[in-house]
Structure 1
Amino acid sequence: METPEAPPDTPPARRARGRTAALIATAAVLGVVAGTCVGYLVQADRAPTALPSLSQPSLAQAKGAGPEPLSAARDRKVKTDGDLRKLLLRKPAGARKALIEAGDDGWMDLAVYAEEFQSPANAFRRLAKLDELRRVAVVDWREDSTYTVEIRLVQYRETEVGTQAADDAGAGYDNAQPPDDHDTDGWPIPGTGDGMAYVHHKPDTSYGVSLYSAEAHAWRGDIAMEIWIYDTKPIPKAKVMDLATRQMEQL
């Protein structure tokens, strides 16, 4: 039976720890950590996805004297309308490929992103029509055996109604620490207004391995930032706070 479609003003609900957590846990159980390549079959079966156009329409220059245009360093739109992947944090020296790579050449298509929600079909419809999702840039990597980081920059088209990036971040806050969750701690991300970072102290054991997680959500302009960290060991607050702070500085 198909899941009823959520009302237009209701943000789509995410899965408890996301699709990526399930894939990483499954990969660990299958022995990918020991050096096998089972997990990569998930990506190998996917058809190639066309990348979003990064070209922008040229605008006619108004005649007459006007204000001095902002330099690229000062004009944020120059950065965010260009190659969004360049605003992602770089992989640290020595980092390896993630057990399950999240995107294709730094992009995550809409269908894959919608899989992160409880009802992928409803999320797909909402993101495609109502939220006017523009594109999702992603980077991920692995350190040691199982410490995995995934960072997404989710960009929306600007509209006159609401701020979808802020709504995206708000939904992330609500999902990260519901009122009845006593196993999660959260802290404000410096310099972001309402950005938050979370560490989940209770591991997910659904897949036969203890998988700890941490996450961070914030937004700036038309971009929502999402950070997800997974490991088979508890994740320190300093790890997620450092990544979240540095990533928001890039925006």
Structure 2
Amino acid sequence: MSIEEGIQNADTTAPPEPETVTEPAPPVQRPRRRGLRTAGLIAVAAVIGLVGGTAVGYGIQADREPTALPPLNQPGLAYPAKPLPKGQEPEPLSAKEDRQAKAQGDLRKLLLPRPAGARSDDFRSGIIKGWMSVYAYASEFDRPGDALDHQLDLGLRRVAAESWTTGEHKRVEIRLVQYRANGFLGAQDYIEGQQDYMPDEEYAGNDGKKLKGSSEGRYYLFPVERKAGYLDSYRARAYFHRGDIAVEIFMFDTKKISEKEIRSLAERQLGRL
């Protein structure tokens, strides 16, 4: 091969191209969400607004003049507006009309009088000259100690009582139980408490009947009690109150007690109050 052919062959042979190294593209960064940032800004703005509004409100209130309260005494409510002329004043209630005056006097005078021919049975009931002591009264209950505590809590003041016997075995006892400062509530609470257990089988076993002339008064007829070797036993009761006086009426007999008997006795005692 000649020199020219060698040169020609050398020119036609191209040198190898260098390798191109492809670098990985940088990761694309996503924009951050602005939701949390916006919610935070709103919360901060709300707190700032609340605190600012409260501060402004207190500032306005502090700068105001205090509002004067109305006077405690209001003479315009008095009736009549002017005293009545002399000689035109209403007459005071008589002792008969003034229930409070009657109740503050001798309580025994409000008791229904003993019927003609009836025999006193006061000693049997612990009654002395028309009065029952607080302890004697509490001893009439199944649990005297609890009864005494309960009566003192109600404000028991005094007890006037009357007891008598007519015929062979008929016996009647009336008690006027008066209460103190909370008198009306004490008398009402006690009577309602007694009436609550009257429907039980061991007592009257019924709701009784309403006493005419009293909003809550009731009288009860008990079922007959029979035991071998003993006379039949009949009972009746009445419970009501007037003002601070609670009234209890008990009737016992070996013969049947009529509804009229206990009702009439209770109505007459109510009338005296």
Which category of TM-score, normalised to the shorter sequence, fits these structures?
Answer: 0.5 to 0.7
- 1:100 deviates by 2.0
1:87 aligns with 2:147: no
- 1:181 deviates by 6.6
Contact 2:221 2:235 in 1 (8 A): yes
Q: How does 1:211-250 map to 2 (within 5 A)?
A: 211-250=233-272
Give me the TM-score of the superposition, normalised by structure 2.
Answer: 0.62
Residue segments in structure 2 that go unaligned for 5+ positions in a row: 1-82
Partner of 1:136: 159
1:116 aligns with 2:140: yes
Give me the TM-score of the superposition, normalised by structure 1.
Answer: 0.67
Partner of 1:193: 215
Cα distance per residue 1:194-242 (max 9 Å; x no partner): 1000010222649944321100000010000000000111211111000
Partner of 2:25: none
Structure 2 vs 1, CA of residues 185 and 199 (structure 1 numbering), >3 Å: closer, same or farther?
Answer: farther
- 1:69 deviates by 2.3
Greater mean alpha carbon deviation, residues 137-146 or residues 117-126: 117-126
Looking at structure 1, the residues matched to 228 and 151 of structure 2 have their Cα atoms a distance apart, in angstroms, of 29
Q: Which has the higher contact order (CA 8 A, sep 6+)?
A: 1
- 1:68 deviates by 3.7
Partner of 2:127: 103
Q: How does 1:178-189 map to 2 (within 5 A)?
A: 178=200, 183-184=205-206, 186-189=208-211
Question: 1:203 is matched by which residue type in structure 2?
Answer: E
Question: 1:135 is matched by which residue type in structure 2?
Answer: R
- 1:182 deviates by 7.6
Match among 165, 168, 173 for residue 145 of structure 1 = 168
Residue correspondences, number: 186
How large is the Cα RMSD of the aligned pairs? 2.5
Structure 2 vs 1, CA of residues 181 and 87 (structure 1 numbering), >3 Å: closer, same or farther?
Answer: closer
Contact 1:87 1:250 in 2 (8 A): yes
- Which SS does the other structure have where 1:126 is aligned? helix
Indicate the structure with greater helix content.
2
Looking at structure 2, the residues matched to 178 and 245 of structure 1 have their Cα atoms a distance apart, in angstroms, of 25
Looking at structure 2, the residues matched to 105 and 207 of structure 1 have their Cα atoms a distance apart, in angstroms, of 36
- 1:74 deviates by 1.3
| Higher-Rg member (1/2) | 2
Equivalent pairs: percent with the same residue? 39
Question: 1:116 is matched by which residue type in structure 2?
Answer: E
Residue segments in structure 1 that go unaligned for 5+ positions in a row: 1-63
Cα distance per residue 1:158-193 (max 9 Å; x no partner): 229x70101111122123222787854611110001
Looking at structure 2, the residues matched to 231 and 207 of structure 1 have their Cα atoms a distance apart, in angstroms, of 16
Q: How does 1:36-75 map to 2 (within 5 A)?
A: 68-75=91-98
Q: How does 1:169-184 map to 2 (within 5 A)?
A: 169-178=191-200, 183-184=205-206
- 1:127 deviates by 1.6
Partner of 1:78: 101
Partner of 1:40: none
